[in-house]
Amino acid sequence: SPPCPTHSRARYWGFGANGKNPIYPDMKLYQEIIFLQHHFKGKYVVENVKPYYTPMFNPIERDRHLYWTNFKLPNNVNARHFGGLCQTKNEVNKLSEFHDYNFRKYKGSQVLNKIARNLVDYEVGKTIFETALGIIRKSNVKQTELF
């Protein structure tokens, strides 16, 4: 998915009193959706945060995220919820434990806590991937077994 900071409700909340200046939303999000809708022959999904404005195209809303896709997403994407507070001294360590990934291995230039906060939960990613492949989890079937 394209970068989301310009669409984020947090960006909108930070306007004015917190010293953030308003900026135009990055419309690459909608360029990507339009392109995929009209030119891509496979299955696709575009994810982004809930924006501070009404989205241009109707998304599928699951948990704290919006999805634009050409296949049906399950109502439950198996999202796990991080119970810790963000913006604390141990935030990266807590998010590393939650995501089962050591963010300290990252050698790039992005800020670690930003990467850790923005990571899509791996259970959600797995659920969406399995849905696209047509894999049905036994836990999602609501039919009683005969034997």
Calculate the CA dihedral of residues 18, 19, 23, 28 and round it to 10 degrees: -60
> Which pTM does this prediction carry?
0.77
Q: Is position 137 within any domain?
A: no
pLDDT attached to residue 31: 94
Alpha helix stretches (DSSP H) within 40-141: 91-99, 112-118, 122-133
Q: Between residues 24 and 136, which one has the greater pLDDT?
A: 24
pLDDT at 85 over 60: no
Range of the domain at 54: 1-74
Beta-sheet strands, E only, within 52-100? 60-62, 65-69
Q: Is position 23 within any domain?
A: yes
Q: In the chain, how many domains are there? A: 1
pLDDT classification of 133: cutoffs 50, 70, 90:
very high
Q: Is position 57 within any domain?
A: yes
User: Among the listed ranges 19-23, 96-100, 137-141, which one has the minimum average pLDDT value?
Assistant: 137-141
pLDDT tens column, 10-60: 666 655 566 667 778 888 999 999 999 999 999 999 998 888 889 999 999
* Best CA proximity match to 6, nearest among 63, 20, 60: 20
Query: Which residues is 61 bridged to in the sheet?
Result: 66
CB-based contact 25:49 (threshold 8 Å) = no
pLDDT attached to residue 52: 82
Q: Is position 133 within any domain?
A: no
pLDDT at 91 over 90: no
Q: What's the rounded mean pLDDT across residues 76-92?
A: 78
Mean pLDDT of the chain: 82
Q: Is position 115 within any domain?
A: no
